[in-house]
Amino acid sequence: MSTKATTQYWLLKSEPGSYSIDDLKRDRVTTWDGVRNYQARNFMRDDMQSGDLFLFYHSSAEPSGIVGVGKIVSRGLPDLSALDKKSKYYDPKATKDNPIWNTIKVRFIKKFKTIISLEELKKNPKLKKMLVIQRGQRLSVQPVTKEEFETIISL
DNA sequence: GCCAACGTTGGC
DNA sequence: GCCAACGTTGGC
């Protein structure tokens, strides 16, 4: 577990048809559930801190890209949707004693006036190393550097 | 522990 | 809708 006090930066993906930046703007705070990838879970469970900031990324969208900013409110909560047989996130391996999956709570901060499309991200030399533009990168929770975050905020 | 088959993500 | 690139599962 990290004990760093400095703000860390993340990128969270969501399909806007499933949960969009407008949904988060309306809800103000939401539980980010349904993550079913161990690496993504580990980032949320072990590395995120309340107060960290994240870029909200719309995937499988027209166009795909970064649409706003949010803040991590809390972490380390079990993802109860894994126990719910009716949920599309149901995981038969999850139990009450070992829910396997974790969630975080996030808060809306802002929605960009215009989307920063994937194409734009790829064109910016300062963002060359961003995971989200790497071919085949499917992680739905990704770390972002402070420099990358600030570059995007300034666009 | 290997790896083929299968399922999913997500850009295009 | 296609399919490349992954991650996961399960037979051996």
pLDDT at A74: 94
Q: What is the phi/psi pair of residue A102, to 5°?
A: -120, 160
With cut-offs at 50, 70 and 90, classify the pLDDT of residue A34.
Answer: very high
Distance of CA A142 to CAs A4, A82, A107, Å? 18, 22, 18
Q: Position of tokens 């969009």?
A: A20
pLDDT of A1 reads 59
Distance A148 CA to B2 C1' (A): 39
How distant is C1' of B4 from CA of A37, in Å?
A: 22
Q: Residue A43: how many CB atoms within 10 A of its CB?
A: 23
Assessment of whether the complete model's pTM goes beyond 0.85: yes
Summarize pLDDT for A102-136 with one digit per residue, the tens.
Answer: 999 999 999 999 999 999 999 999 999 999 999 88
A4 has pLDDT over 60: no
- Nearest 5°: the CA angle A13, A61, A68 is 50
For the record, the structure tokens of A89 come out as: 């996130």
Residues ≥6 apart with Cβ < 8 Å to A26 = none
**For residue A3, what pLDDT band results from cuts at 50, 70 and 90?**
low
Question: Would you say residue A101 has pLDDT above 60?
Answer: yes
Q: Using one digit for the tens of pLDDT, what is the confidence trace for A64-79? A: 999 999 999 999 899 9
Tell me the backbone φ, ψ of residue A2, rounded to 5 degrees: -75, 145
The answer to whether A58 and A20 are in contact (CB under 8 A) is yes
Q: How far does the CA of A113 sit from the C1' of C9, in Å?
A: 44
**What's the average model confidence in pLDDT over A24-34?**
96
Q: Is the CB of A42 under 7 A from strand C?
A: no
> What's the CA A138/C1' B8 distance, rounded, in angstroms?
10
Q: Could you check: is the Cβ of residue A133 within 7 Å of any atom of nucleic acid strand B? A: no
